[in-house]
Amino acid sequence: MGRSYLTVRVLVLTVSCLVVLEYMSLLQSAENADKIRPSIFCMLDNHGVKQTHFLQSFPRDYYTTELLGADANSSNLFLLPPSPKVAVPTLNVPVNRSTLPECPMIPPNLQGKFNVEIDEVPDFAELETMFPSLEAGGRYSPSDCRARHRVAIIVPYRDREEHLKAFLFNIHRFLQRQQSEYGIFVVEQSGKGPFNRAMLMNVGAAEALNQYTYQCFIFHDVDLMPEDDRNLYTCPIQPRHMSVSIDKFQYRLPYDEIFGGVSAMTVDQFRLVNGFSNLFWGWGGEDDDMANRLRLKKLFISRYPANIARYKMLKHGAEKANPERFKYLYSGAKRISKDGYNSLKYRKISLELKPLYTWILVELPKLKP
């Protein structure tokens, strides 16, 4: 009896030691992964020399489409004529950069993990002086090379000025280090009714394509700050869920199909699934509906590794959940062809090319299911 009791204790002790050792080695490797130079995803050529960035190794033509920009004069996008007070923006024609060499596969000035600044964010006036290379509307192209992708960052927005300031302060520096060609579109919902995040993203897509031949969209919550610039904001081969690990969720993915927070889609992928549903008013479900659309159209959700696709979430109060979200989620498959980008209607109250972003204020109508 005494002997077997001793054996059990020794066994338990040994197993516990092994568990502790495994845990420590996991911690160590996660820590080291954050310290390595930002060169992951590299593919090796035959001589073992680093050649290309895996996610950027597709030819430029991969993202081109003759449909790009086709929305510019689409008439069904406006429910009512725009208000007469709308300032007509004078768009800067992008500088012809075709003679510049293509930017390197791996941006040379990445820092990897960096400190997100949220406590000491300058005010808007000062911020506007900090990014002299921005064009009106918060547009940017690297000056010494031709960016590989043209990316529209779409930010659904209402009543979060502090968050917007912190977002702009962090995101411009982040994207410029990535040598990205981008524009920032802040799409604001007017009024005080329930927020419709998905519809605002549809509006952002339409308005971004009105302005320029973007190749893809990154739909971005204003309260999420990327923490690692290896998280490249490029056009994805398959739709990419970007906010994989968020501090609020202890840097763990809450569930496999999540597509909220920050996500990237090419223009073609977005069109294939008919954009987002317009029917989700209030918090929750619209991103799950998009995940269902992707699955229905045989696309899949891709992700960068969790130690890179890390985000800090700014604090805010809880929004009111949409009691109808499950009803619309269950009937999503039936509606995909008629509820979405092709049925979008909105009234554009204002469009302004601000120094740091393009601001679009819209009134959203309740559309019939």
Q: Give the binding site for ligand NGS (CB under 6 A).
A: 254, 258, 260, 284-285, 287-288, 325
Q: How far is the CB of 255 from ligand NGS (least distance, A)?
A: 8
Cα–Cα distance, 235 to 62 (Å, whole number): 10
Instruction: Give 244 or 360: the residue with its C-beta nearer to ligand NGS.
Output: 244
CB of 284 to ligand NGS, least distance (A): 3
CA–CA separation, 276 and 195 (whole Å): 14
Q: Residue 288 Cβ, how far from ligand NGS at the closest point, in Å?
A: 5
Nearer to ligand NGS, 139 or 303 (CB): 303
d(CA 172, CA 184): 9
CA distances from 315 to 191, 284, 332 (A): 23, 18, 31
- b/e sequence 45-80, b meaning 16+ C-beta within 10 Å: eeeeeeebbebbeeeeeebeeeebbebeeeeebeee
Contacts of 6 (CB under 8 A, 6+ apart): none
- Please state the closest distance from residue 126 (CB atom) to ligand NGS, in A: 31
- Shortest Å, Cβ 357 to ligand NGS: 23
Give 107 or 282: the residue with its C-beta nearer to ligand NGS: 282
3-state secondary structure of 292: helix
Rounded CA-CA distance 279/180 in Å is 33
The residue among 23 and 326 lying less far from ligand NGS, judged by its C-beta, is 326
Question: Which one, 229 or 287, has the nearer CB to ligand NGS?
Answer: 287
